[in-house]
Structure 1
Amino acid sequence: MSCRLRVLALSAILLAAAAPSFAENYGDRAFAHLDRDRDGFIDSQDMTPMRERMFKRLDRDGDGYLSGEETAAPQQGTQRSPNALPWRDLDGDGRISRAELMEEEPALIVRGDSDGDKRLSRAEFDQLINRRVSKS
């Protein structure tokens, strides 16, 4: 999941806990931002531009691949090994190409898709946000 998407989801969660009416409005904006083609669903295609920006930002050495060192999260409390890759290395070469990243289903969709159609409806998006709020 991209950093920007994590920030959006976390912000929606925090707002939902603090002020339900404001969070609802923020959830509307977050969903609208992610639903780029305005079809009422968030799917992999909607998330492609965000994932491309994320790949470009993470590929610090500019070699066109993400290594474990480039994807290791610097956040406090993270236990990920510096050589661990957060996405599947489909060709087994120890690094993630742009094509491999784009082929993998976005984590937001995997976590929230309750009906298996590989996209998030607004109701599924809200359920995902609400599940995160109830875990806190």
Structure 2
Amino acid sequence: PPPPQIEPLPEGDPDAVGDAPPMPGEASPQNREQKRFARYDRNRDGVITRVEMMGSRTKAFKALDKDGDNLLSFEEWAVATADRFGAADADKDGKLTPAEFAATAPKRAAKAKCKC
């Protein structure tokens, strides 16, 4: 489906008095990239080591490695993939609609609410 239309911001009242409210800041691609880098740079030394890069995938790998031999066989991967497909195929027709496929997306942990 096409992306939703973005509605323009309201123009405001031309007869209003006082200073205009501040506009919200925009995240630049560099800021997003810096955040992504920081997620991998666990010890915050400004470089990402191989261990840091691979460390984020350890939990997912261990979940697929059912026999615990630190080797992922095709069978282990295929079973996990088939189970994931079967769980997403809500109408059990052997095909995934866009809505069913969306159910296969990794679940993001909810951000903690501010306790201000």
Instruction: Provide the TM-score with structure 1 as the length reference.
Output: 0.32
Larger radius of gyration: 2
Instruction: Provide the TM-score with structure 2 as the length reference.
Output: 0.37
Higher relative contact order (CA 8 A, sep 6+): 1
